């Protein structure tokens, strides 16, 4: 598959700000990839996401240099309605992106806005509910749902637009760990079934490193690291940039520094395997 | 707060009244409202209340209507007393206070049985501008959310020593500041996020969006509407033609 | 210091949020309450400062029944830092925000000044003394809410999901603050589903599930009980999982979790 996202030399400064929120940013994402974006608070992640889905520059103006292309569109030139069908953005708080008082009405929201014929809306809403496993919630009111369910409803409302890229902004921050794991599994399944590309901003790296193809680290508006997740986690500079390295990865790095011939990897299970093997060798 | 909740918040119920076209429900409610407002004798009020209670029974919401009556009783008594002070007779004052209750019930009947979805439908068929309808329905959708926010804010401020019950009127009003400001700030933040989500889902892309659900009224709806209109006209006629004294 | 005696709590909606909960917390103890969202953790701690009163059973704080006191009275001894700073910041300045509770509690002017200065210093907020609280960053707002509470020096400090939305650096700072609380003898209760944050603190662990306390003991024991954690939908800390996996293979050279831990963290290259 070709490129879905191309960010070239992007810099953006909000009107009243002294500093650029995003500086000389370069990023290419291929179709079907799951890319993670990490960085400390204030590093510019949220700003970057909004330059990809078009909120910058269409809703937020400022000093905009460089270019962003998504699919066949140049973001600064296309209309939001065109961009909405190519890239979807799932915001951090699911509550504030559900407008309607029934789940299926809300999922239909984007399609209604694009004047899609009612029969087609029906079919696509049903499909989205099936993909997200929430068909039984169709008539429910949003305030009756759990956080995890709201998250799925919001995601359904995005996926129903049939975008090629879906951006998730800290999707697990309000979820408990088990629900977060379920969401992550869902994302992987969606990518495998539909081929949709995912760009996910997340602090809790251990949740996503298993499904991510790439991990990009951002600091003070710039991209500082970009590579396979296990390589980045093994990179000494990663922690210095303010991202939280999962405990087992940190231990793995420590042991490597102490001389143990370990490979890159994640998770307690793999490390335990390797260590057992190492110990037996002696 | 419970008065509002009991009398005006929609809850899903399976009843012949609930399943009527919302425009018919609005019509019936409006008719009852006018008849209540212009009633001036004990018999008239008794009949109107009787009719409304029958409708409430059919709609399976008698309990909630009962609760609304109980909570409105306070203000009703207040009206009674004020009228006495204004030198009205006992009977007239009683009629005014019962009339107030009847008005409340007539409007409450509509809101309790009509979902926000249906409210939106009514507004759309009245050809109100799309933005107005959207603003309204979004506001209704967020009422429970804001109520929850308010509770959490009050909890947080109580935990910092804010005594909401104590103090004279002035002090109590000042005490609302630590609750109102976060509430407003949160609402503003929320609106900002909603705006982003709206943009991202192509709101405003076309002047005339389509709709998932199509609404049309059935024969039954039309019959009920016609029937109620006839009754309404008859009632008004009776009021005018036979002005019965108190 | 805090005691729950067979407490059951039923919401107005009819939902039972706490069932037969009994718990004793001694002075200066550190407690972590874990469990999935909806297990009753926040409901539990809201009983400690009287925001909620038990439907059945009794909650005692320093020997007194919470039913007999208002939240404002109990808050003098029990400070709760809620999850969302935007639910409490409202003043024109950081200084006014920090002194709000102090004034409510009737502190003298000298004491207010003293506590204010200490709090702003300790939390690194002195430079924002005259700024609007609403203009601060997320992490600063969080620190401010903590400063507001510690300003009045409650004996019990409860943190409700303190790590939500915080990045690595902010979590480090939080960890440091909690350790400070412990060392100054405060009774600390942390409600959290972030097991990686809790594990290094090695607190007493209370596991909740569906309104009940299903386990109560030291973290290093309970975190090893996979079945328990599975049932309560709580994640196991990565390092604990690692130590257990090391022991799991039949031909594993490690006889106990301690062996594994020593082999890993002790001098490497033994053998």
Predicted confidence band of residue A263 (pLDDT cuts 50, 70, 90): confident
Q: Which pLDDT score, from 0 to 100, does residue A86 have? A: 95
Given a cut of 70, is residue C270 above it in pLDDT? no
The residue whose two tokens read 């296309």 is: A78
Give one DSSP letter per residue of B162-223, joined into a string.
--SS-S-HHHHHHHTHHHHHHHHHHHHHHHHHHHHHHHHTTTTSSSS---SS-----HHHHH
Output the pTM of the full model: 0.87
The reply to whether A215 and A276 lie within a common domain is no
Between C168 and A5, the more confident residue is A5
User: Residue C64 is inside which H or E element, if any?
Assistant: strand C64-65
CA B93 – CA B79 distance, rounded (Å): 7
Of A127, A162, A197, which one is at a domain's C-terminal end? A162
Q: Which two tokens stand for residue A72?
A: 């066949």
The reply to whether A193 and A72 lie within a common domain is yes
> Best residue in B160, B183, B186 to probe C by mutation, most C CBs within 10 Å?
B160
Given a cut of 80, is residue C47 above it in pLDDT? yes
Given a cut of 70, is residue C264 above it in pLDDT? no
What digits encode the pLDDT tens for the residues C239-249?
888 888 887 76
CA B67 – CA C148 distance, rounded (Å): 42
Predicted confidence band of residue C266 (pLDDT cuts 50, 70, 90): low
What digits encode the pLDDT tens for the residues C88-113?
999 999 999 999 999 999 999 999 99
The reply to whether A78 and A97 lie within a common domain is no
The residue whose two tokens read 């589903």 is: C193
The three-class DSSP label of residue C66 is helix
Q: Which pLDDT score, from 0 to 100, does residue A106 have? A: 95
CA A272 – CA C239 distance, rounded (Å): 10
A73 strand-pairing partners = A70
Which residues does chain B have with pLDDT short of 50? Answer: 1
> Best residue in B199, B200, B204 to probe A by mutation, most A CBs within 10 Å?
B200
CB contact under 8 A, A147 and C37: yes
- Please report residues of A whose CB lies closer than 8 A to that of C139: 41
Q: Which pLDDT score, from 0 to 100, does residue A260 have? A: 79
The reply to whether A18 and A113 lie within a common domain is no
Measure CB to CB from residue A178 to each of C139, C233, C245 and give the nearest one.
C233
What digits encode the pLDDT tens for the residues A27-43?
999 999 999 999 998 89
Q: Which chains, if any, share at least 3 CB pairs under 8 A with chain B?
A: A, C
Q: What is the CA radius of gyration of chain A?
A: 20
Buried residues in C145-173 as b, exposed as e (16+ CB within 10 A): bbbbbbbbbbbbbbbbbbbebbbbebbeb
Q: Which residue of B has its CA nearest to A106?
A: B212
Predicted confidence band of residue C268 (pLDDT cuts 50, 70, 90): very low
**What are φ and ψ of residue C24, in 5° steps?**
-125, 130
Between A72 and A257, the more confident residue is A72
Q: How many CB atoms lie within 10 A of CB A115?
A: 15
How many separate domains does chain A show? Answer: 3
What digits encode the pLDDT tens for the residues A36-83?
999 998 899 999 999 999 999 999 999 999 999 999 999 999 999 999
Q: Which residue of A has its CA nearest to C169?
A: A242
The residue whose two tokens read 């119920």 is: B13
Measure CB to CB from residue A113 to each of B190, B193, B209 and give the nearest one.
B209
CB contact under 8 A, A269 and C252: no
Q: Which two tokens stand for residue C66?
A: 């919470």
Terminal-to-terminal C-alpha distance of chain B? 35
Shortest alpha-carbon distance between residue B177 and chain C (Å) = 8
Measure CB to CB from residue C138 to each of A41, A273, A279 and give the nearest one.
A41
Q: Which pLDDT score, from 0 to 100, does residue A259 have? A: 78
The reply to whether A229 and A253 lie within a common domain is no
CB contact under 8 A, C36 and A269: no
Shortest alpha-carbon distance between residue C105 and chain B (Å) = 6
> Best residue in C51, C69, C72, C156 to probe B by mutation, most B CBs within 10 Å?
C72
The reply to whether A53 and A170 lie within a common domain is yes
Nearest to A102 by CA among A134, A148, A132, A133: A134
User: Residue A61 is inside which H or E element, if any?
Assistant: none
The reply to whether A234 and A250 lie within a common domain is no
Mark out the alpha helices in chain A (DSSP H runs).
45-53, 55-58, 80-84, 103-113, 118-132, 147-159, 177-194, 205-208, 229-234, 237-240, 247-257, 268-281
pLDDT above 90: percentage of residues in chain A: 70
CB contact under 8 A, A177 and C171: no
- Please report residues of B whose CB lies closer than 8 A to that of A113: 201-206, 209
Between A173 and C114, the more confident residue is C114
Shortest alpha-carbon distance between residue C200 and chain B (Å) = 29
Of A103, A136, A162, which one is at a domain's C-terminal end? A162
CB contact under 8 A, B157 and C88: yes
Which residues have a Cβ under 8 Å from the Cβ of A54 and sit 6 or more positions away? Answer: A70, A75, A78, A80, A83, A84, A87, B200
Q: What angle do CA A179, A185, A189 make, to 5 degrees?
A: 140
What digits encode the pLDDT tens for the residues A116-171?
999 999 999 999 999 999 999 998 989 889 989 999 999 999 999 999 999 999 99
The reply to whether A267 and A237 lie within a common domain is no
Q: What is the mean pLDDT of chain A?
A: 92
CA B232 – CA B38 distance, rounded (Å): 12
Q: Which pLDDT score, from 0 to 100, does residue B244 have? A: 65
Nearest to B48 by CA among B24, B72, B29: B29
The reply to whether A122 and A20 lie within a common domain is no
Of the CA atoms within 13 Å of residue B145, those in its CB half-sphere come to 24
The residue range of the domain holding A275 is 246-282
> Best residue in A101, A110, A140, A169 to probe B by mutation, most B CBs within 10 Å?
A101
The reply to whether A144 and A199 lie within a common domain is no
- Please report residues of A whose CB lies closer than 8 A to that of C37: 146-148, 175-176, 179
Which residues have a Cβ under 8 Å from the Cβ of C178 and sit 6 or more positions away? Answer: C30, C159, C188, C190, C201
Q: Does C202 touch chain A (CB under 8 A)?
A: no
Of A162, A184, A218, which one is at a domain's C-terminal end? A162
ipTM reported for the complex surpasses 0.85? yes
**What are φ and ψ of residue A133, in 5° steps?**
70, 35
CATH number at residue A54: 3.40.50.300
Given a cut of 90, is residue C37 above it in pLDDT? no
The reply to whether A108 and A125 lie within a common domain is yes
Q: Are C77 and C61 in contact (CB under 8 A)?
A: yes
CA C154 – CA C101 distance, rounded (Å): 11
Q: Does C165 touch chain A (CB under 8 A)?
A: yes
Q: Are B196 and A154 in contact (CB under 8 A)?
A: no
Mean pLDDT computed over A179-205: 93
The interaxial angle of helices B219-241 and B22-38, nearest 10 deg, is 10
Q: What is the CA radius of gyration of chain C?
A: 21
Given a cut of 50, is residue C271 above it in pLDDT? no
The reply to whether A172 and A81 lie within a common domain is yes
């Amino acid at each position: 598959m070709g490129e879905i996202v191309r960010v070239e030399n992007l810099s953006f400064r909000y009107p009243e700000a002294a500093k650029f929120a995003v500086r000389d940013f370069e990023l290419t994402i291929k179709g079907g990839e799951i890319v993670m974006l990490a960085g400390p608070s204030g590093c510019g992640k949220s700003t970057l996401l909004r330059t990809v889905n078009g909120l910058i520059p269409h809703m937020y103006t400022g000093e905009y240099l460089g270019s962003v292309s998504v699919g066949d569109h140049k973001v600064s030139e296309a209309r939001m309605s065109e961009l909405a069908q190519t890239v979807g953005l799932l915001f951090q708080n699911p509550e504030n992106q559900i407008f309607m008082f029934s789940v299926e009405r809300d999922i239909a929201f984007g399609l209604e806005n694009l004047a899609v014929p009612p029969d087609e809306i029906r079919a696509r809403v049903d499909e989205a509910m099936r993909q997200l496993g929430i068909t039984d919630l169709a008539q429910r009111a949003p305030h009756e749902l759990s956080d995890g369910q709201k998250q799925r409803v919001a995601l359904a409302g995005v996926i129903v637009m049939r975008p090629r890229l879906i951006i998730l902004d800290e999707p697990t921050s309000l979820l408990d760990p088990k629900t977060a794991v379920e969401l992550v599994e869902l994302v992987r399944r969606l990518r495998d079934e539909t081929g949709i590309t995912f760009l996910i901003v997340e602090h809790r790296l251990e949740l996503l490193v298993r499904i991510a193809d790439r991990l990009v680290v951002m600091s003070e508006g710039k991209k500082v690291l970009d590579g396979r997740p296990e390589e980045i986690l093994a990179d000494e500079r990663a922690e210095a940039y303010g991202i939280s390295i999962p405990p087992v990865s940190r231990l793995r790095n420590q042991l490597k520094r102490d001389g143990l011939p370990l490979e890159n990897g994640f998770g307690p299970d793999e490390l335990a395997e390797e260590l057992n093997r190492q110990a037996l060798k002696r | 707060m419970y008065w509002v909740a009991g009398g005006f918040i929609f809850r899903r119920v399976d009843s012949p009244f609930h399943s009527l076209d919302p425009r018919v429900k609005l019509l019936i409610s409006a008719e009852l409202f006018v008849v209540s407002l212009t009633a001036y004798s004990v018999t008239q009020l008794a009949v109107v209340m009787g009719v409304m209670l029958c409708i409430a029974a059919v709609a399976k919401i008698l309990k909630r209507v009962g609760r609304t009556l109980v909570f409105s009783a306070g203000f009703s008594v207040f009206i009674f007393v004020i009228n006495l002070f204004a030198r009205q007779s006992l009977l007239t004052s009683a009629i005014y206070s019962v009339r107030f209750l009847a008005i409340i019930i007539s409007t409450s009947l509509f809101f309790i049985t009509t979902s926000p979805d249906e409210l939106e439908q009514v507004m759309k068929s009245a050809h109100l501008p799309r933005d107005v309808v959207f603003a309204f329905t979004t506001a209704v959708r967020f009422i429970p959310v804001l109520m929850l926010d308010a509770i959490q804010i009050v909890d947080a401020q109580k935990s910092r020593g804010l005594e909401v019950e104590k103090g004279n009127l002035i002090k109590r009003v000042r005490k609302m500041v630590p609750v109102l400001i976060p509430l407003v700030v949160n609402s503003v933040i929320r609106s900002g996020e909603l705006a982003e989500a709206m943009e991202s889902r192509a709101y405003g892309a076309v002047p005339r969006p389509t709709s998932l659900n199509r609404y049309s009224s059935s024969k039954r709806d039309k019959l009920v509407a016609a029937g109620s209109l006839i009754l309404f006209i008859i009632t008004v006629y009776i009021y005018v033609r036979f002005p019965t004294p108190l | 210091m805090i005691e729950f005696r067979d407490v059951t709590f039923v919401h107005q909606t009819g939902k039972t949020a706490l069932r037969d909960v009994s718990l004793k917390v001694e002075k200066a103890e550190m407690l972590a309450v874990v469990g999935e969202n909806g297990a009753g953790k926040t409901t539990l701690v809201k009983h400690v400062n009287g925001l909620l009163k038990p439907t059945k059973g009794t909650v005692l704080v320093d020997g007194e029944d919470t039913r007999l006191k208002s939240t404002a009275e109990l808050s003098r001894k029990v400070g709760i830092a809620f999850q969302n700073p935007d639910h409490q910041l409202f003043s024109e300045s950081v200084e006014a925000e920090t002194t709000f509770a102090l004034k409510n509690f009737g502190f003298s002017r000298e004491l207010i000044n003293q506590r204010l200065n200490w709090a702003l210093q300790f939390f690194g907020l002195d430079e924002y003394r005259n700024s609007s609280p609403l203009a601060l960053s997320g992490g600063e707002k969080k620190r401010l809410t903590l400063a507001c509470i510690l300003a009045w020096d409650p004996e019990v400090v409860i943190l409700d999901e303190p790590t939500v939305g915080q990045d690595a650096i902010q979590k480090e700072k939080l960890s440091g603050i909690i350790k400070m609380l412990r060392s100054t003898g405060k009774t600390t209760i942390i409600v959290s589903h972030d097991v990686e944050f809790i594990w290094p603190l090695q607190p007493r662990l209370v596991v909740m599930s569906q309104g009940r306390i299903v386990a109560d003991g030291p973290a290093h024991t309970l975190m090893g009980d996979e079945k328990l954690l599975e049932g309560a939908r709580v994640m196991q800390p990565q390092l604990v999982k690692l130590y257990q996996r090391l022991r799991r293979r039949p031909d594993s050279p490690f006889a106990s979790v301690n062996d594994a831990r020593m082999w890993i963290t002790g001098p490497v290259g033994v053998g």
